Structure 1
Amino acid sequence: MAHGGGSKAVIAALAANLSIAVLKFLAYLLTLSSSMLAESVHSLADSGNQFLLLIGGKRSKRQASAEHPFGYGRERYVYAFLVSIILFSVGGVFALYEAYSKWQHPHAMDARWAWVPLVVLVGSILLEGNSFRTAIKESNHTRGSKSWAQFIRTAKAPELPAVLLEDAAALLGLVFALFGVTMTIVTGNGHWDAAGTGLIGLLLVAVAVVLALETKSLLLGEAATEEDLRAIEASLVGPGVSGIIHLKTLHLGPEELLVAAKIAVTEAETGAQIAQAIDAAEERVRSAVPIATVIYLEPDIYSAAKAGRP
């Protein structure tokens, strides 16, 4: 996935969330609705998260150094993990605390301003829906035939899964808030408002946990996708390379892949012939999988005992 697509979705989400956060907070000040306060903090947390994703994307483009010889590509994963922590703590835990507090001390809304949160929530749904549509459109460029769950689990670039999860949570959270606020207005019972806030908190905690688990896997280091792995295996074998003794891959970043392999050559080949075969194999791999930016090939004589062993 091109990072530009991820950035476009992040910027669209950021613009929507900043606007929505201001409107929700104004609605909270007028009505003192806990659902509106939870949603205000939710949108503010999402805005901060999008800033972090943009910063991570920018910092990941730094050139490799002696201290970090493979570059800074994984910095995008670090910032995505920070996003999950903020979503959990600032968004989810705060909403749960606010729900508990308002359940203990419920209050009805000021009838004069009861229409304000309804207008804000409906407008927020429209804005978030547009942001969500942008994220879906950008994701479809690389999702292929995968289901959305598979895409989120297997995507190597963290920005789009993060924005997809955040936008989906935001839309569902707005529905919960709309339900809580509407029932509070209709019944005059502030417990409905607290219930809507609690549902928002549980939703944010669940999304944060999913995002944290997926980003943790990327931080630990994931291999190439099955599609890329098959392409690499097919590309390595060619003139001078009779087979693959073993192969390992590792994502150094979303668009940077390390390929390390021990390849089989014949005893009759000279050093010059082996070097030429290795160069040709590297060219074939880079042609088949452009993100294979770092390739290390070790020639060896094939034997059953060595197959699959480093």
Structure 2
Amino acid sequence: MRRLTLTPEDNAELSPMIAEIAKAYDTVENPELIRRAPVLARSLPVHVLEFLEEYRIGEPSALCVISGLDVDEAQLGHTPEHWRDSQYDSPAFPQEVFFLLCGSVLGDVFGWATQQDGRIMHDVLPIKGHEHYEIGSNSLQHLSWHTEDAFHPCRGDYVALMCLKNPDAVETMVCDAADLDWPAIDVETLFAAEFTQMPDNSHLPQNATESTGDPTIDRLRARSFALIQSWNEHPVKRPVLFGDRAQPYMALDPYHMKTEGWSEASLRAFQGLCDQIEANMKDVSLRPGDCVFIDNFRAVHGRKSFRPRYDGSDRWLKRLNITRNLRGSRAWRPAADNRIIY
């Protein structure tokens, strides 16, 4: 894992720059802010830009962390009860701006019509009723390790998390592909398109509002949910590994994969990979002000269980999906400058 710790001098430089940006916009979801983010990111300290660029191009690790961003937990107030309550008048807007700018150094941020009503920046927090549900808003159940959106051909290159609160030091679990013993794994079998990856629960319609109020958006979103349903009913076969056979990229989500009909060789190879991942999983406890960027091609991640309080003090993160090839999803987006995949 690579880490860059911001100094007091860094925060003194960042604070007025971020405040000026935050004054110009009403929310981090503002399309103009998202469009301008790659340009605004050039105002970040040079060593922050160099750190992120080295991580992006050199792939020295599947995980990098920028820590030390100022977070005033008293100013944040209560952790929202639901992600729907957090979009406007966000007390974390300055931190959201910094997170957005850093993510925009690595690529283009994007969202899913089927996740958190098409928002770009997601909230990760415990929600009442989701305690045992396999979704990021659960708590009493482990969130099983996975590639983010493993089922979708337009999944992001990176999934990023920014910690606002983590009073119980709840651990994020990460396994870096570089730590695996690849000669001991049946790589050739895992490169074959013989593995069924199902959509994860966060993309199901019961986790969205019934209507956005925009008939066009509702029609496009209904089409997306119909596609998700079709993939659940008729899973598409895909490889688990891709890229270079000596240092493969990965795409797997065992909790959402149906193994019925797999060959014995496929089952053995898949289990061998999963065993290696389990043996090399590491725990990362995020602190307020930490921004972690996970290479979604080279790592899997999950989260350990915890007991929620529901008193406003619970763990609260922000999440971004980032792609290095926005054009690759053009067939899924209604316009070239639209960042939402339908």
Q: Which structure has more strand as a fraction of its residues?
A: 2
TM-score, normalised on structure 1? Answer: 0.24
Higher relative CO (Cα under 8 Å, sequence separation at least 6) belongs to: 2
TM-score, normalised on structure 2? Answer: 0.22
